[in-house]
Amino acid sequence: MAKGFPASVGPEYNTLMALSAAISLLLIVHLGWQLLNGKPIVPAGWVAAFTALGAVMAFLGGVMTVTWPLKEVAPNCCQQDNIIFGEPILGFGVMLLTAAYLLWRTSRWWSAHHAVGSSGQPAARVAPDDPIADEAFMVKLAVVLQPLSWFVFALGLALISIAFAGVRFKIYAAPPSEPISGVASGHPYVEAIFISILYALMGIGAVFLPFFLRTMSRTLAKVIGAAWLISGVVWLFFAALNYYTHIGSLVKHTGRF
CATH number, domain at 192? Answer: 1.25.40.600
Give a yes or no: residue 6 inside a domain. Answer: no
Give a yes or no: residue 203 inside a domain. Answer: yes
Is the CB of residue 134 less than 8 Å from the CB of residue 110?
A: yes
Q: Which residues contact 141 (CB under 8 A, 6 or more apart)?
A: 35, 102, 103, 106
Closest by CA to 59, choosing from 30, 86, 34, is 86
Q: Cα separation of 236 and 234, whole Å? A: 5
Q: What is the pLDDT of residue 255?
A: 66
Give a yes or no: residue 7 inside a domain. Answer: no
Amino acid residing at 156:
G
Give a yes or no: residue 96 inside a domain. Answer: yes
Three-state secondary-structure class, residue 130: coil
Q: Cα separation of 254 and 257, whole Å? A: 8
How many domains does the chain divide into?
1
Q: What is the pLDDT of residue 122?
A: 47
Give a yes or no: residue 257 inside a domain. Answer: no
Give a yes or no: residue 126 inside a domain. Answer: no
Q: Cα separation of 38 and 50, whole Å? A: 21
Question: Tens of pLDDT along 129-170?
Answer: 668 878 899 999 999 999 999 999 999 999 999 999 999 998
Q: What is the pLDDT of residue 1?
A: 38
Q: Using 70 as the pLDDT threshold, list the residues of the chain that sit under it.
A: 1-12, 73-77, 115-130, 253-257
Host domain of residue 72: 14-114+135-251
Q: Cα separation of 27 and 20, whole Å? A: 11
Give a yes or no: residue 106 inside a domain. Answer: yes
Q: What is the pLDDT of residue 133?
A: 75
Q: Cα separation of 144 and 107, whole Å? A: 12
Q: Cα separation of 257 and 251, whole Å? A: 6
Give a yes or no: residue 123 inside a domain. Answer: no
Q: Cα separation of 139 and 121, whole Å? A: 25
Is the CB of residue 15 less than 8 Å from the CB of residue 242?
A: yes
Q: What is the pLDDT of residue 128?
A: 54
